[in-house]
Structure 1
């Protein structure tokens, strides 16, 4: 019960200020149609309820399961299995990420269907999956994250030279939306779990940085998609 109370207060502190600002603007400046304003209030209630349930679900389900999976896979002593499941988990949690779907829908609408939303979603998910797999290799072989980030961003800026102008901003937004409420908890807990059982590894030093790497994958994937579409 204490956990539920804590999540309720956390969500209210995030949603209530925005709601109050819109209500203030409604009766002072903007004067939206009453139907639209009522829809906003209903939506705010639904968002608040949904976020409370979602955050409880993440803490109760996603975080423990991700860490347990991450701590179990290295015990198989099979490198390919750790890398494969890193890719699979990175892919599937990104497909389920709400932020990715919102971006894909907006791009689909703005481009009049020229960039189908499903193609964008799966491209972003593929990029995340590949870089989560790379992050697993980083933990195993103790590769410097600074080196990986330097090489990855060098590839990003190099590829940007050949990417059509309309795809470059979408690619960077794609990297941002992967740091959403589903992808981040699962990937971080997975990395901490893997690092915690690797011999000579520090879970605090090696279990983090996965999100930084994972967010580069979608940028490269969407840029490549832009090159192909262009």
Structure 2
């Protein structure tokens, strides 16, 4: 019951400020048509309900299962299985990520089909999956995080010189949308679970975190490679 109350407070803190600001703007400045304003209020109610149910689901299912998978994998003693599972989970979670699909539809519409939404979703998913797998490699072999971050962003800025400007912008947006409500809870829980078993003698925070920041480089690189291929 306490979890339900806490979740309700989180949703209210997230949705109410936006709703209040729009309400103030409606009364004082923008004067949207009544139909459009009512649609906004109905949409805000639906978002609140959906967000509430989603957060309950994350707490009850995604986080515990992701962490349990992360804890069970190292016990198999198979490094290839840990890395392969990280890749597979990164792929499917990103394909299911609603933020990625919203971005893909918008880009498909703006580009008049020049960048198909299906190709963009798959590219982003592959990019993130590869870097989740690299994050598992980092955890297994205790490689410092900054090696991957410096190397990854050096490659990003090097590729940016050869990619059309529009793809550079889309690439960085794609890195942002992968840190959405589906990918973050599951992948972070997976990373913490793996690190807590492999590094039982040290705090999990030293190995299990930083994974999302590392994984978000993958979609940026994937979209830039796509820009090189499509130009």
TM alignment of 1:72-87, pairs within 5 A: 72-87=72-87
Q: How many residues align?
A: 230
Shift of 1:165: 1.3
Normalised TM-score (structure 1): 0.98
122-131 vs 199-208, greater mean Cα deviation = 199-208
Question: In the aligned structure 2, how far is the partner of 1:28 from the partner of 1:159?
Answer: 47
- Please give the per-residue CA displacement for 1:53-94, whole angstroms capped at 9, x wherever unaligned: 001100110000000000001111111111111000001111
Shift of 1:5: 1.1
Indicate conservation of the 8 Å contact 1:195/1:201, yes or no: no
Shift of 1:202: 3.6
Shift of 1:139: 0.4
Question: In the aligned structure 2, how far is the partner of 1:129 from the partner of 1:202?
Answer: 25
2:30 counterpart residue number: 30
Question: In the aligned structure 2, how far is the partner of 1:79 from the partner of 1:20?
Answer: 51
1:214 counterpart residue number: 215
Shift of 1:201: 5.2
Normalised TM-score (structure 2): 0.97
Indicate conservation of the 8 Å contact 1:160/1:168, yes or no: yes
198-207 vs 150-159, greater mean Cα deviation = 198-207
Indicate conservation of the 8 Å contact 1:124/1:217, yes or no: yes
Structure 1 pair 119–9 and aligned structure 2 pair: CA distance change class (3 A) = same
Q: Secondary structure at the match of 1:166?
A: helix
Question: In the aligned structure 2, how far is the partner of 1:116 from the partner of 1:207?
Answer: 35
Question: In the aligned structure 1, how far is the partner of 2:36 from the partner of 2:128?
Answer: 37
- Please give the per-residue CA displacement for 1:134-178, whole angstroms capped at 9, x wherever unaligned: 000000001010111101110000111111111000000000111
Indicate conservation of the 8 Å contact 1:71/1:193, yes or no: yes
Q: Secondary structure at the match of 2:112?
A: coil
The structure 1 segments of at least 4 consecutive aligned residues displaced by more than 2 Å after TM superposition are: 199-202
